[in-house]
Structure 1
Amino acid sequence: MAGLKTAKKSLNAYLEGVERELHRLRHAQGGSGGPTASQRLAEVLLDLGVRCGDKTGRGIDLSVRFTHQVLADPAGAHRATATTLINDWLYDGVIGTKPNGCFQLLKPQELWALAGYDVKEPTE
C-alpha cells in the first residue's frame, strides 16, 4: 500500500485499471440506464479510501491529492460534473479537505448511500 501512495506510475496504473473495470461494469448492465454520475463518483472515492486511505475515527483520510479531473475520469463523468458533486458533498459535510489538499471521507456511510447501496448505520 505504501508503494501506491508514493509511486506515481503505480498510482496511474491503478487509476487506469479502475477506469477500465468501471467501464466494463457499466456496460455489462444491459437494459438498465446504469448508475448515475453521483453514484459512480461516490464509488470511486470509496474505492480510493480502501486502497490509499487511512482510517480516522469514523472517516477515512486519503493520503494522495487528486484533482477533480482525475476523480471524474474513472467515474465516467465530466470534470465540471465532478466539481459540482464534490462541492455539494463538501457543503453537506460528507467529504472534507485537509490543509494539504487531500480529501477526507468524513461520512463514508453517506457515500455508500450516495453510491446506491443500502447500508445500515451500526447501532451502539
Structure 2
Amino acid sequence: MQSNVRETFNDGVLIILEPSTIRNEQRKKVGVAYSEIGRAFFNTMMLREQDMSNFDNNSSKSIRKVKTLLHPLTAKITKNELKIKIDNVIYDVNKVDFDRYYSYFFLSFSGGDEAYANNSEGVF
C-alpha cells in the first residue's frame, strides 16, 4: 500500500476574501469592504500553453496560477464572487480547478484594486 506524498507549500499565504458593498443613506454604492473567510498556503506554478489559451491574451490583465491543498471553499468559488489577497495585492478569481488533493487558482490582476490593497482595514 502506497502512502500519499504531500508537497510543501512555502511560497506564501493567500487570503480568501468576500467583498460586500457599502452604501450610503441614498442606497448608492460608496465603497467595498472585504472580509476574510479563509487562508491557505500556496505554491506559484508556471502557466502552460493550454492555460493561456483559455484566457483572452489581448486583455491588460496578468494571469497568475497558484496551487493549494484542497480547500473546503473551493466548491463555492465562482468567477468574480470571491477575491484572493497575496502580498497585499487583491486578485480576481478567473477559474478554479481541483483534483482529489489540490486546488488550482487562476488569478488576474487588472490594476484597479491597488487602492483596496493598500487599505489595512479592508474598507475603501
The two structures have a TM-score, normalised by structure 2, of 0.32
Q: Name the one with the larger strand percent.
A: 2
Tell which structure's C-alpha radius of gyration is larger.
2
Query: Which has a greater percent of helix?
Result: 1
